[in-house]
Structure 1
Amino acid sequence: MSKVKITDIAERSGVSMTTVSRYFNHPELISQTTQDKIKTAIKELNYQQDNLARILVTGESNLVGVIFPHLHLSFYTELLNQLIKYGKEKGYNLIVYTSNDSREEELQLIQNLISYRIKGLILLSHLLSAQDIENLPVPVISIERVGGNFKQINNDNFTGGKLAANLLIRNNCEVFIHINNDFREDWPSFKRILGFEYEVKDLCYERFIENDLTDPYLPKATEAMNKLVQHITTKYTGKKIGVFCSNDDIASLFERQCLKNNIDIPNTIELIGYDNSPASNYAVHPITSIDQNISLMAQIAIQSLENYIPYESMVPASLIEKETTC
C-alpha cells in the first residue's frame, strides 16, 4: 500500500494543500467544519503523520522531555500518569527519563532531549542550579523547586504543614512527631516542616530525619522505621501521639511497622501523610493526607508549554481525612 500524502488528504477532504498544512501546524486558523472534514479524511486514509518531517519543516516538535530523580515515590508515578493524560489531550508525546539523583547523568539526559528538539522540559529534581536551568535553550517547567527565572509549580507546603498540625491538635494528641528523609531549606517541601512546627512549637514536639527512608521500599528503610516506631512508642508510652510524615510512602511504611508491633492506629497514634497519592489509599488503613492536587500540577505544566511565562504557580493544599485520624 502506497504512503498517504498531504495531496491525498486535500483531495479526499475537498480543500487545498495549504489548508491541510494549516490543520497540522495552526488548526486555530481554520474553521471547525474544515477541521472535521480533514480529520475524517485522515481517518479514512489511515494517515500517519511523519513527526520527523514536521520537525524539519517547522523547527517545532510535539515532544516534551520529563526528568524525574527516580520513580519509587507514589507522588512521582501519579504525576507522570497525569502528565501523560493531559499531554495526550494536547497532542504531546512525552520522553521520560530518571536521573537517579546524579547531576552528571541529568545533564547528559537534557542534552539528549535537546537533540530531539523538544518543545519544553518538565523537571522534578533539585540537582541543577537555577543558573544551569536558565542557560538551557528550551523552556523549563519545574515542579516543587523554588528560585530562578523559569516556570515553577509548587504546592502551598506551609499551609499543608499547618493543616496537618491543626488536625492533630484538634484530635487531642499530646505528642507531635515529624518524620522526614531529608532536611534542605532550599526545597519547597521544607516549608511543610515549617508550617507544622509553627503550630506545635510550644507543645511536646520532636523531629526525626532519617536518610535511610529516602526509598521507603528498601529493606534498610523498613529496618530504620521499625527502630523509629519502637523508640517513639517507648519514649511516649501512655500518651496519644500525632505523627506527620513528609510523604505518603513514608507514612505507609510507618503504618505497616505500627501494625507489626500491634500499635493501634488511630487510637494510640494518629498518622498524616503528604501528597494524597495512591499510596495513601492503598494502605491497610487509608492514610489521612495533605492533598497536593497532583492533577492540577500536571495540567498547569502542560498548559505552560503553550503559554510559557517564567513565574511561580502556587497550588493550594487541602486536608483529606481518612482512617488514620479520628
Structure 2
Amino acid sequence: MAKKNVTFADIAAYTGFSKTTISRYFNNPDSITVENQEKIANALAVLDYKENKLARVMANGKTEMIGVIIPNLYMHYYSDMLDHIISTYEEYGYKFIVFAGNEDADVERRYIQELLAYKTEGLIVLSHTLSSKELAEYHVPIVTIEREDEYVCSVNTDNYMGGVQAATVLAKSGCDILLHANSDFPSTIPAYGRIQGFQDFCETNGLEHRIMIRNFGASFEENNAEIAKLLQEIEEIYPEKKAGIFMPNDTHA
C-alpha cells in the first residue's frame, strides 16, 4: 500500500505543539527556541517526514529557482560559468532552470516568459542578444555577466587589463608582429576592452600590431574553418615574421 504522507498535523500531534509552531519551524525557525527546534527535528526523523516542496511554494510563494540564459554550451566559457553557478546550490539552496538561446532574440524572449511562468525569483543572463533596457522591463531581479549593462546589474572582469597583459606576454616572447583576433564588438560590450587594451599597449610601446576582426561562427565546424583561414592569411601576410596571436577566448585558442 502507498505510504501515508506525514503532515503538519501529524507532527503537531506527535510533539504536542500547534500546527502554527510547526509551520514556524519550517518558515521562520529562529522564532522558536533551540530546544523546541530539536524536538521537532527529532519528530521529523522518527516520523520519516519528507518535505513537500510544491506545498511550501504554494504557501510562501517562494520557488527558490533562478533562471539562466546562456548563448550556447559549445563555448568553454559558458559551460564553465554554468558549472560555477550550479555549484552554489549547496551553500544557498537555489535551483536553476537553464536555457540556451543560440543568439535568437525571439527564442530568448519565449524562454524568459517560460521562466517567469514558473515564478523564478530572478534571472542570470550571459547572452548578449537582448538589450539591458528590454531585460529591465521584465521587472524581476536580473544579474548579467560580461555584457552590455546600462539598465541592469552586471558582473564584469577587467577586460582592458586582460588585453594589456596578453600583449605584454607576446611582446616579452620576442614576437615581431602582435595580432589580436576578435569579433566586431560595439564599445558597450565589456569584451571590447580587450581590443582597446591590446591596441593601446602596442601603440604606447611602438609595437607592430594588427586587430583582425572575424566572425568565427557558433559551432566547431565554423570555428575550425574560420581559424584555418585566419592562420593561412597570417602566414601569407607575415611569412618572415614571428607572429604572436591573442585569441578572443579559450575555445578559439
Change (3 A) 1:159 1:59: same
The code of the aligned residue for 1:112 comes to E
Question: What is the deviation of 1:35?
Answer: 5.2
Q: Deviations over 1:265-307 (max 9, x none)?
A: xxxxxxxxxxxxxxxxxxxxxxxxxxxxxxxxxxxxxxxxxxx
- Bigger drift between 225-234 and 12-21 goes to 12-21
The partner residue of 2:217 within 214, 218, 234 is 214
Gaps of 5+ in 2: none
**SS in structure 2 opposite 1:65?**
strand
Question: What is the deviation of 1:88?
Answer: 3.6
Residue in 1 that maps onto 2:85: 83
Partner Cα separation in structure 2 for residue 140 and residue 181 of structure 1: 26
Contact 1:121 1:139 in 2 (8 A): yes
Residue in 2 that maps onto 1:204: 208
The partner residue of 2:124 within 122, 125, 142 is 122
The partner residue of 2:53 within 37, 51, 56 is 51
Residue in 2 that maps onto 1:286: none
Residue in 1 that maps onto 2:156: 154
Partner Cα separation in structure 1 for residue 126 and residue 111 of structure 2: 13
TM-score, scaled relative to structure 1: 0.69
Q: Deviations over 1:239-271 (max 9, x none)?
A: 2221111100000xxxxxxxxxxxxxxxxxxxx
Change (3 A) 1:47 1:83: farther
Question: What is the deviation of 1:19?
Answer: 4.1
| 1:1-326 correspondence to structure 2 within 5 Å | 1-10=3-12, 16-29=18-31, 38-39=40-41, 41-201=43-203, 202-211=206-215, 213-218=216-221, 220-251=222-253
Partner Cα separation in structure 1 for residue 15 and residue 95 of structure 2: 27
**SS in structure 1 opposite 2:144?**
strand
Ranked by relative contact order (alpha carbons within 8 Å, sequence separation 6 or more), the top structure is 1
Change (3 A) 1:37 1:225: farther
Change (3 A) 1:41 1:76: farther
The code of the aligned residue for 1:55 comes to V
Q: Which protein has the larger Cα radius of gyration, Structure 1 or Structure 2?
A: 2
Question: What is the deviation of 1:52?
Answer: 2.4
The sequence identity of aligned pairs, in percent, is 36
Question: What is the deviation of 1:173?
Answer: 1.7
- Bigger drift between 227-236 and 67-76 goes to 227-236
Partner Cα separation in structure 1 for residue 201 and residue 39 of structure 2: 61
**SS in structure 2 opposite 1:247?**
coil
Contact 1:67 1:99 in 2 (8 A): yes
The code of the aligned residue for 1:204 comes to E
Partner Cα separation in structure 1 for residue 178 and residue 151 of structure 2: 38
**SS in structure 2 opposite 1:83?**
helix
Partner Cα separation in structure 1 for residue 39 and residue 217 of structure 2: 53
Gaps of 5+ in 1: 252-326
